[in-house]
Amino acid sequence: MKPIIDVETLHLVLALLLVLAVLAISYRERLGLERDLIIATARTFLQLFVVGYFLVYLFAWDRWELVLLTLTLMLAAASWIAVGRLKRPVPGARWMAVVSLAVGSAITLTFVTYVVIGVEPWYDPRYVIPIGGMILGNAMTGAALAGERFQSELRSRVEEVETLLALGFSGLEAVQDLYRSAIRAAMIPTINAMLAVGIVQLPGMMTGQILSGTSPLIAVKYQVVVMLMITCAVALSSILFLRLAVRQYLTPAHQLRRQLIL
Amino acid sequence: MEMTTGAEAELILVCRKVSGGYSVDAQPHREVLKSISFQVHAGECLSIAGPSGSGKSALLRLLNRFDDPAQGEICFRGKPLQRFDPLEIRRRIALVLQNPVMFHGTVRENLLRRPGRQDLSEPPLVQALEEVGLDRSFLDRIATELSGGEKQRISIARSLLGGPEILLLDEPTSALDPRSLRLVADLITQLNRVRGLTLIVVTHQVDLIHRLGGRVLVLDRGQVVREVRAEQAGSLLEEHE
């Protein structure tokens, strides 16, 4: 097998020409994207190189405590971002995100690394960190989507919910339809991704593996696992998050807290 | 001013110095109502009138525990509302909201959309329809395709099927044309006079108040400013508009 071509630093700088071209277009077409483009490009370089060096050390140290610590920090960041995406988070949304992402991701990650792949030792950062990252990232998006969708459904269907409450349905029964459509909204991007995978473009992880010299068949097997685990993590995390969040909109006396939705 | 409809009628609902509540239309904020007291006898028809923003709907929503008052006490048949199961209260004190919501499906499915195991037989449904002036042919119509007045009547029929002791109606005719207003007003009156159902109706429409008769509580800025008979309400309401 041919050895993998490392991108030389000078050549990486050449890749900047691509962004420079976009900058020129943005300037000429008055898109006003120059500032954002420059910041985004700089952050891409910075963040990825920091992560790259961090991973080099993490792999070299090879300690389970550090792997768990890293996963915890990733969990905190994912929860923070998920709640930040909500327009009006309910009180306590942050810890709800932590709990739901932690539970949903931990179950999925443990199953995938321990049972499916059989990582040895169990904490091998080369596997656990990138797989954990994919799981957390998708779970985060799913929980945020579910939360956002539930709130907008509640806002537009408040009269329907109140009609059911007035008829004597419990709070959870009254919002059940909204809950279901929020979970569906969170799951649809993942299901669509499974339907389209491989037809137009190869997923990032598979591309990376192939570029780094892995046999496409191994890459495919990993990708299948990735798709299935993302589906599971998104479902678990968004359901857990919404189950916790929905209760905040209701009082124990089956009253709707209107001040949270208007 | 205290008026009763016969000394022997039981006091079914008593409000004592109730404050709080949330306004529904505007930005929600506390303390809409200020020390409201009134009582309702079984079989009575009480109208709650006043300009928009006076706290009419906020008050109505306290009576079926959609909200709880910040201060004061509401008693149903001599017992504070808080001591009942809220779901039981909402069946016994049924609220019909201003805009009738019809769920997907037929009128039959809408009438059966109530908590607990449903009696699927037709006679009670037909009886409920007849009480709101509709016949059995409506059972298989698509609920969302009905007219505004018909939807309002189905929504009342749906609440009647729960066997309420008090029916709360929030602006039941505000979205209706004059002909539908008369129809709905008449059937509400029938429910009170024929079925003996206790009614509390929030409205700003003098026409509806006149048709309903009975007592009128006039609210302004969260307070009861007057309590009059329906016949006297017209001029008073214009004064407070």
Residues in A touching B64 (Cβ below 8 Å):
166
Residues of B in contact with A173 (CB under 8 A): 115
Pairing of strands B69-76, B79-80: antiparallel
Contact of B114 with B162, CB cutoff 8 Å? yes
Give residue-wise pLDDT tens across range A114-157.
999 999 999 999 999 999 999 999 999 999 999 999 999 999 99
Q: Report residue A149: phi and psi, to 5°.
A: -65, -40
Tens-place pLDDT, residues B48-75: 999 888 899 999 999 999 999 999 999 9
Cβ-defined contacts of A208-216 (< 8 Å, 24+): A211/A4, A212/A4, A213/A1, A213/A2, A213/A3, A213/A4
Residue A161 in tokens: 């919910």
Q: Please give, rounded to a whole number of angstroms, the shortest distance from the CA of A151 to a CA of chain B.
A: 17
Q: For chain B, which domains are there?
A: 11-240 (3.40.50.300)
Name the minimum distance, in Å, from the CA of A178 to any CA of chain B. Answer: 13
Amino acid at A258: R
Judge whether residue B5 has pLDDT over 70.
Answer: no
Burial grade of B73 (CB within 10 A; 0-12, 13-18, 19 or more): middle
* pLDDT cut 70: percent of chain A above it: 99
Looking at residue B4, its pLDDT comes to 47
Is-contact B201 B47, C-beta < 8 A?
A: yes
Which of A167, A169, A261 to mutate to test binding with chain B, by most B CBs within 10 Å of its CB?
A167
The DSSP result for B203-235, as a single string, is ---HHHHHHH-SEEEEEETTEEEEEEEGGGHHH
The tens digit of pLDDT for each residue in B137-156 reads 999 999 999 999 999 999 99
3-state secondary structure of A147: helix
Tell me if residue B36 falls in helix, strand or coil: strand
Of B24, B65, B97, the CB nearest to A163: B97
- Contact criterion met (CB < 8 Å) for A168 and B162: yes
Q: How far is CA A65 from CA A114, A128, B35, in A?
A: 17, 13, 61
Q: Is B105 on the interface with A (CB under 8 A)?
A: no
